[in-house]
Amino acid sequence: MPPLIRPATPADLPLILTLIRDLAAYEKLLPEVTATEAGLGATLFGPRPAAECVLAFAADGTPAGFAVFFTNYSTFLAQPGLWLEDLFVRPEHRGRGIGRALLLHLAQLANARGCGRMEWAVLDWNQPAIDFYEALGARRLRDWQICRLSGEALARHA
C-alpha cells in the first residue's frame, strides 16, 4: 500500500515541528533550530504563507516524513520553480518508498503548477540522499555554490 501524502494543516503544527527537529538532529544541526509552533503557524498558514508542507504517513497511519517547499522564479525560463527546502523520512520508515513518494508528489505538483524546474540542496556528506536523488534522475550542479546572508550580517543592512 502506498504511503498517504497530504497537505499539512494548522492542527499538524506539533508534528511538523517534531519532524523539523528530527531532521535537524539527523543533520547534526539541532542547536540551530529556533522555530516554534507559532512561528511555523504564521509562515505556513498565515495570510501570506512563505512555504507549504506535505506530510507522509505509513500504511499503519503513523507519521513517517514530510516535505517543505516554496515557489521561486527563474528569469532564464520566465517560469516559476519549486524549491524543496526539507525532505525527511524517519529512520524507521526508510526503504519503504516514502521518500520517493514525497519527491514524486512534489514533482507532479511542480508540473501541475507550470514550474520549469524543481531544485534543492543536499549536504555533501549525505551520500544516501545523494544516491537516492541521482537514482531518480536528479543532477547535481557542482559549479553553483549557495551563498547566505543571515543573522548579524543580514541585520547590518536593515
CA dihedral 17, 20, 24, 25 (to 10 degrees): 70
Residue 134 lies inside a defined structural domain of this protein: yes
Residue 152 lies inside a defined structural domain of this protein: no
Residue 154 lies inside a defined structural domain of this protein: no
Residue 155 lies inside a defined structural domain of this protein: no
CA 113 to chain centre: 17
**Helix locations, the chain, DSSP H:** 13-26, 37-45, 98-112, 127-135, 151-155
Residue 146 lies inside a defined structural domain of this protein: no
Q: Is 73 a catalytic residue?
A: no
* Mean pLDDT rounded to a whole number for the chain: 96
Q: What is the CA radius of gyration of the chain?
A: 16
Q: Using pLDDT thresholds of 50, 70 and 90, give the confidence band for residue 52.
A: very high
pLDDT digit string, tens, across residues 88-126: 999 999 999 999 999 999 999 999 999 999 999 999 999
Residue 156 lies inside a defined structural domain of this protein: no
- Cβ proximity of 67 and 86 under 8 Å: yes
Instruction: Tell me the CATH number at 42.
Output: 3.40.630.30
- Cβ proximity of 89 and 98 under 8 Å: yes
Task: Enumerate the β-bridge partners of residue 81.
Answer: 72, 117
pLDDT of residue 71: 98
Q: Using pLDDT thresholds of 50, 70 and 90, give the confidence band for residue 2.
A: confident
Burial zone of 87 (CB within 10 Å; 0-12 exposed, 13-18 middle, 19+ buried): buried
CA distance 34 to 40: 10
pLDDT digit string, tens, across residues 56-82: 999 999 999 999 999 999 999 999 999
| Cβ density class 41-70: b for 16+ within 10 Å, e for less | eeebeeeeeeebbbbbbbeeeebbbbbbbe
pLDDT of residue 147: 92
- Cβ proximity of 71 and 31 under 8 Å: no
What is the domain range of residue 135? 4-140
Percent of the chain exceeding pLDDT 70 equals 100
Residue in the block written with cell 502506498: 2
Count the domains in the chain: 1
Residue 91 lies inside a defined structural domain of this protein: yes
Choice among 91, 133, 148, 151 that is catalytic: 133
Residue 50 lies inside a defined structural domain of this protein: yes
